Amino acid sequence: MYSKNCSGITIRELREDEFELYGELHCVGRGMSAEGKSYVAANNKVLYYYDGV
């Protein structure tokens, strides 16, 4: 699923191989150290296989 608005930002579902990138973006965006990205990635990857989450 893709969604594009007038600002040029495209939003799509995360692919299975992008959890480390997500973890880094989440940590840096929240003002946390990027060193925690693996923990964030692992925590969210568990939910990847569940429908509706």
Q: What is the mean pLDDT of residues 20-28?
A: 94
Residue 35 pLDDT greater than 70, yes or no: yes
Residue 38's pLDDT band (cuts 50, 70, 90): very high
Residue 42 lies in a domain: yes
Its pTM stands at 0.70
Residue 6 lies in a domain: no
Check: CB of residue 10 under 8 Å from CB of residue 4: yes
Residue 10 lies in a domain: no
State the total domains in the chain.
1
Residue 42 pLDDT greater than 90, yes or no: yes
- Specify the pLDDT at position 37: 93
Residue 9 lies in a domain: no
* Enclosing domain of residue 31: 16-53
Residue 5 lies in a domain: no
Residue 34 lies in a domain: yes
